[in-house]
Structure 1
Amino acid sequence: MSMIRHRQTYFLFHSYKQIKNIRFTHPGIYWNMTEAVHDTAKSGFVDGENYDRFRPSYTDEVVKLISSIITETQTDKEDNVKYDCVELGAGTGKLTQKLIKELPKVEKYLATEPMDGFQKMLKQNCPGIDTQICTAEKIPVPSECVKTVLAAQCFHWFANTTSLDEINRILIPGGKFLMVWNNKDWKVPWVKDMEGILTRYYGDTPRAVSYQWKEVIEKCPHFRCVRHEILPGTLLKGCRNDVLGHFCSISVIASLDENEKLKVRSEMEAVMDKHSLAKGTDDITVPFNTELYVAEKLTNK
């Protein structure tokens, strides 16, 4: 029987809604193939090595849960299955490299990524798996040959009807679409102050915390929600420069010119001083929660 879990979701949703002065992309917006990657992502997601260094990974609990959903998705037409999982926007492989260690058939895993600089790191971090450069609007696999589609830290970038039509096309009947995000714990005062700096730069750049992706998926006639929960996330630890590196790896900051980046970094350092976050030590922690949303492809009657 399908189960929808909302542990902690109500609180987090309303916490995110309190973030002020954010304008979001209209639900269902679509870029053609030459514009399928948002401008901010084009300029902010270039340095794969930098992203890989400063972004958080995923807890063993989350990885095992995702692996179990993938392996438990069954079909009576196994001969038609080309991939157990197609990952969209795999980035540098932050989730991929942990997940493939849990899955029994790595040869049935395809990791896709639209940014060339990120795909190079993806191949380096996950040798031996199939990779493709593509967007979610045009996935290079046959129809109804994939058990699960996974989007970690990225569905908000392509939360539109064209992508969902394409995901529906490649999934087997009853297949699963898994969406995962590492979200910072905005209740922590210094993290909230950092968010205030970031917010000024977002404009119409898509954000997971807008929850417009949720509106889009729940209005889509191809899918129904079967699971939604908030799990304890990883604790990203590092020295002061590592923490600053993390916040500066966020797309809207990474895409700025060098002078503006220096200005932002100075403001972030002031926040850390205000909250007495130590200089030159390894005891600063950025807390995260991990949000998991699972949709099931509806079978045509």
Structure 2
Amino acid sequence: MAIHEAAQQGYSNESSTYQRGRPEYPADLLGWLERDLGASAGAAVVDLGAGTGKFTKLLARLGASVTAIEPVDAMREQLVQAVPGVRALPGSAERMPLEDACVDAVACAQAFHWFANEAALREIHRVLRPRGRLGLVWNVRDETVDWVAAISKIITPYEGNVPRHYTGRWRQPFEGQDLFTPLQRTVFAHSHVGGFDQVVIDRFMSVSFIAALPDERKRDVEARLRELQEVFPELRQERVAFPYQTEAWLSERRG
């Protein structure tokens, strides 16, 4: 399985930090998952690139029969602990250990940009039943807020060639293809509320390309993040509300 080095190393190093620091998903998303994606009770659903199981847990709440596929062992171990009893398998977007036309929906949360390629689309098409649906979900930071933009300014210089959602390159495989219908977007307001260490430090130390840095450079990034508390009073509060917009993109299998 071909996994980007930053994902393999970073997520292996900081899987527990990822589990602590990553936001959950807005309650309003549940209706979209059930109604639009078709992840309703009894439906067979794949959580592709499932990470530590934050999204898997949401799908399981709907009563769907969920198969979580995650290539990084450390992340999958966290998932099994977080969502006991879920079927969790090693695999990649280009090679899922599943039969043809066996699931009603495939969901990718915080993940599709890692494997946005034609081979992945063909594999997703293969495992979906006719008219099965593909849902892509991201919690996107609201950088219109000054201190959120300041955080991005600290971490972005480290990203290198790591695939990122904000570039929009993940849309390219959908252009000029006949496997899926055009993507439709729905947006939900969201906020991750918690202590500064959880919603800022753990959140950004678990970013793949930060987590993959040598320890000394990681300490430097953390120190710079902590310095933001001296500039922005909001970050000195006992509870910090980190603003997000949750983007939910939907497409249907053709053929």
> Into which bin does the TM-score normalised by the smaller protein fall?
over 0.9
1:296 corresponds in structure 2 to 252
**Counterpart of 2:9 in structure 1: which amino acid?**
S
Partners of 2:250 and 2:186 lie apart in 1 by 9
Partners of 1:218 and 1:172 lie apart in 2 by 22
* 1:8-157 pair list within 5 angstroms: 33=1, 36-46=2-12, 47-71=14-38, 84-103=44-63, 106=64, 108-157=65-114
Partners of 1:169 and 1:53 lie apart in 2 by 34
The partner residue of 1:248 within 205, 225, 231 is 205
The gaps in structure 2 that reach 5 residues or longer are: none
Larger Rg: 1
The partner residue of 2:164 within 207, 222, 225 is 207
The partner residue of 2:116 within 159, 163, 169 is 159
Partners of 1:96 and 1:297 lie apart in 2 by 22
Q: Is the 8 A contact 1:224 1:298 kept in 2?
A: yes
Q: Is the 8 A contact 1:147 1:175 kept in 2?
A: yes
Q: Is the 8 A contact 1:84 1:147 kept in 2?
A: yes
* 1:190-269 pair list within 5 angstroms: 190-225=147-182, 227-233=184-190, 235-242=191-198, 243-269=200-226
SS of equivalent to 1:123: helix
2:135 corresponds in structure 1 to 178
User: What RMSD in Å do the two structures reach over aligned CA positions?
Assistant: 1.8
Q: Which is worse superposed, 54-63 or 94-103?
A: 94-103
Distance 1:275 1:219, change over 3 A: farther
Partners of 1:72 and 1:202 lie apart in 2 by 33
SS of equivalent to 1:222: coil
Q: May I ask how many residue pairs the two structures share in their alignment?
A: 252
Shift of 1:264: 0.9
Partners of 2:26 and 2:6 lie apart in 1 by 28
Partners of 2:226 and 2:88 lie apart in 1 by 38
SS of equivalent to 1:156: helix
Partners of 2:183 and 2:202 lie apart in 1 by 36
> 1:229-274 CA distances to partner (integer Å, 9 max, x unpaired)?
21112x2122232222211111111111110011111211222311
Partners of 2:126 and 2:38 lie apart in 1 by 20
Partners of 2:182 and 2:238 lie apart in 1 by 40
Partners of 2:238 and 2:182 lie apart in 1 by 40
What percentage of residue pairs aligned between the two structures are identical? 31
Partners of 1:170 and 1:199 lie apart in 2 by 35
> 1:21-77 CA distances to partner (integer Å, 9 max, x unpaired)?
xxxxxxxxxxxx3xx11010011111322211110001111123112234379xxxx
Distance 1:226 1:258, change over 3 A: closer
SS of equivalent to 2:182: strand
> 1:148-179 CA distances to partner (integer Å, 9 max, x unpaired)?
11101000000001111111111112111110
Q: Which TM-score applies when normalising by structure 1? A: 0.79
Partners of 2:81 and 2:62 lie apart in 1 by 19
Shift of 1:83: 6.5
Distance 1:276 1:173, change over 3 A: same
Q: Is the 8 A contact 1:218 1:224 kept in 2?
A: no
Shift of 1:222: 0.7
**Counterpart of 2:135 in structure 1: which amino acid?**
L
The gaps in structure 1 that reach 5 residues or longer are: 1-32, 74-81
Q: Which is worse superposed, 137-146 or 180-189?
A: 137-146
